[in-house]
């Protein structure tokens, strides 16, 4: 089945130690998104790629970076994780950016920062 895959499902890192989260898709969608979902809070968009074009949300901290080496893969890099970065990170994809383009979500990676 075509899907959005996130690895690993659980990630533990140390305070200040760089960490990379991975997302891949078999849907061949143009757009890939990263959302941060803290405990008991709404998912919040960090950034998205439309093909190779990167779009950062204005309030996304500089500590968060992303790479999309090809259509299928997108990575979230956290350069110096702080305790406040512990959260579920959701990857999503869509065909385009129109409201009629359904976003398909992965199962998420839960990040713990020690």
- Kindly give, in sequence order, each residue whose CB lies less than 8 Å from that of residue 75, ignoring residues fewer than 6 positions away: 20, 21, 22, 23, 66, 67, 68, 69
Candidate list 23, 94, 109, 113; residue touching another protein; CB under 8 A = 94
Report the distance separating Cα 26 and Cα 1, nearest Å.
Answer: 8
39 binds another protein (CB under 8 A): no
Closest CA to 20 of 75, 63, 92, 86: 75
Binding mask 52-71 for another protein (x = CB under 8 A): ---x-x--------------
CA angle 5, 11, 94 (to 5 degrees): 25
What minimum distance in Å lies between the beta carbon of 20 and another protein? 20
- The conformation of residue 84, written as its DSSP 8-state character, comes to G
Candidate list 21, 24, 36, 106; residue touching another protein; CB under 8 A = 106
Q: Please, which residue, 82 or 96, has the CB nearer to another protein?
A: 96
Candidate list 13, 22, 27, 43; residue touching another protein; CB under 8 A = 43
Q: Please, which residue, 16 or 96, has the CB nearer to another protein?
A: 96
Task: Read off φ and ψ for residue 84, nearest 5 degrees.
Answer: -75, -5
- The conformation of residue 27, written as its DSSP 8-state character, comes to S
- Footprint of another protein (CB under 8 A): 4, 31, 33, 40-45, 48, 50, 55, 57, 90, 92, 94, 96-108
């Amino acid at each position: 089945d075509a899907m959005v895959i996130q690895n690993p499902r659980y990630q533990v890192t140390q305070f200040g130690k760089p960490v990379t989260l991975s997302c891949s898709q078999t849907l061949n969608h143009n757009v890939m998104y990263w959302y941060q979902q803290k405990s008991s809070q709404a998912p919040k968009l960090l950034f998205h790629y439309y093909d190779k074009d990167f779009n950062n949300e204005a309030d996304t901290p500089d500590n968060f970076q992303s790479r999309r080496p090809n259509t299928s893969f997108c990575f979230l890099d956290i350069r110096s994780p702080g305790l406040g970065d512990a959260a579920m990170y959701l990857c999503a994809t869509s065909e385009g950016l129109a409201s009629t383009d359904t976003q398909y979500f992965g199962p998420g990676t839960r990040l713990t920062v020690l």
